[in-house]
Amino acid sequence: MTAKLILGKEVSESIYADLRVRIAALKNRGIEPTIALIAVGDDPASKVYLRTKNRKCEELGIRAVNYTYPSSASEEEVLGRIMKLNDDRSVHGILVQLPLPPGFEERYVLDSISPDKDIDCFHPVNVGHMFIGDPHFLPATAGGIQQMLIHCGIETSGKHVVIVGRSNIVGKPMAAILMQNRDYANSTVTVLHSRSECLREMTRSADILICAVGKPNFITADMVKEGAVVIDVGTNRVPDPSSPKGTKLVGDVDFDAVKEKASYITPVPGGVGPMTVCMLMANTVKAAEGQWR
């Protein structure tokens, strides 16, 4: 068996097609979906992510407003900007690019964003809505993974989903989404982490295995059940003498070996990555629609 690839670009394009229709409908009503992007400092990876988000906004017809601050900026200055954006009815989504420089209280900054404009779904109010099965927004990466499963027609009801990693960004929200009593969920979910015993035995029992630990090639073929669906969220840069840059991106899964056992698998790069930006765009459009009902 060689696994079928789940490609984020393919899945995201189907979602973008729907978003373009909804964006046009909003503009016909005089509403221009708008996202405010806040960046502090000079983190190179953050600059790349911001360029990607701005480019996608331009392609879709979403207005992006950028606020860039030097590392020397104070937390109070950034919070002041967020407060103004919270009150600005022309802005529908607010995103603070992480990581923030030393001296910033990340949780405090994120919690200052209005839940109605929290397109990252980091605010406790939105996290609570997600856990009770009444989401306003879904976290971008976790929500994107669910869309990948839906797009490929992968059954989740009654299936054993094993999630390796318990972060607030992927592991915990992924578990909350798939355990709900609703369509495209209804899974039996196990969350594994650094203190979990019998990790190998648990991953081998998974119908759907989702890995987000940030360790290159952590999941090996002997940890995967024959025919399992494998979702690799990891993005790790490792040495590669054959590459002009001297490095390459790999996931948390030993792709070459695992693809011979899995039924479906996401590659790195090209798998989950494109879905994160896609779902941020979807959340922005949803915010624009919701605030004007």
At 293, is the pLDDT very low, low, confident or very high (cuts 50, 70, 90)? very low
At 292, is the pLDDT very low, low, confident or very high (cuts 50, 70, 90)? very low
What are the boundaries of each domain within the chain?
A: 30-114, 140-273
From 53, 117, 172, 261, active-site residue: 53
pLDDT above 90 covers what percent of the chain?
A: 91
Annotated catalytic, 232? Answer: no
Q: Which two tokens stand for residue 66?
A: 């950028």
Amino acid 63: pLDDT? 98
State the sign of the Cα–Cα–Cα–Cα dihedral 276, 279, 283, 285.
positive
Q: Which residue, among 83, 56, 237, has the nearest Cα to 140 in the 3D structure? A: 56
Give pLDDT tens digits for 3-19: 999 999 999 999 999 99
From 116, 120, 232, 254, active-site residue: 120
| Average pLDDT rounded to a whole number, residues 184-205 | 96
pTM of the full structure: 0.95
Answer yes or no: is pLDDT of 155 > 70.
yes
pLDDT above 70 covers what percent of the chain?
A: 99
Q: Name beta bridge partners: 33.
A: none
Whole-angstrom CA distances from 31 to 20, 90, 160, 258 are: 14, 8, 43, 47
Answer yes or no: is pLDDT of 291 > 70.
no
Give pLDDT tens digits for 158-183: 999 999 999 999 999 999 999 999 99
CATH of 30-114, one of 3.40.50.300, 3.40.50.10860, 3.30.590.10, 3.30.300.130: 3.40.50.10860
Asked if domains 30-114 and 140-273 share a fold, the reply is: yes
Q: Which two tokens stand for residue 216?
A: 């290159």
Annotated catalytic, 291? Answer: no
Q: CA angle, corner 138, sides to 151 and 51, nearest 5?
A: 85
Give Rg (Cα) of the chain: 19
Answer yes or no: is pLDDT of 76 > 90.
yes
Answer yes or no: is pLDDT of 277 > 50.
yes
Provide the H-helix boundaries in the chain. Answer: 8-28, 44-60, 75-87, 106-111, 124-131, 140-151, 171-178, 199-203, 255-258, 273-290
Answer yes or no: is pLDDT of 1 > 80.
no
Whole-angstrom CA distances from 144 to 7, 177, 202 are: 12, 11, 24
CATH of 140-273, one of 1.10.760.10, 3.40.50.720, 3.30.2020.30, 3.30.70.260: 3.40.50.720
From 56, 97, 118, 159, active-site residue: 97
At 45, is the pLDDT very low, low, confident or very high (cuts 50, 70, 90)? confident
Q: What is the mean pLDDT of the chain?
A: 95
Q: CA angle, corner 8, sides to 169 and 208, nearest 5?
A: 65
**Helix or strand or coil: residue 265?**
strand
DSSP structural state of residue 262:
-
Annotated catalytic, 120? Answer: yes
CA distance 30 to 32: 7
Give pLDDT tens digits for 205-260: 999 999 999 999 999 999 999 999 999 999 999 988 888 888 898 999 999 999 99
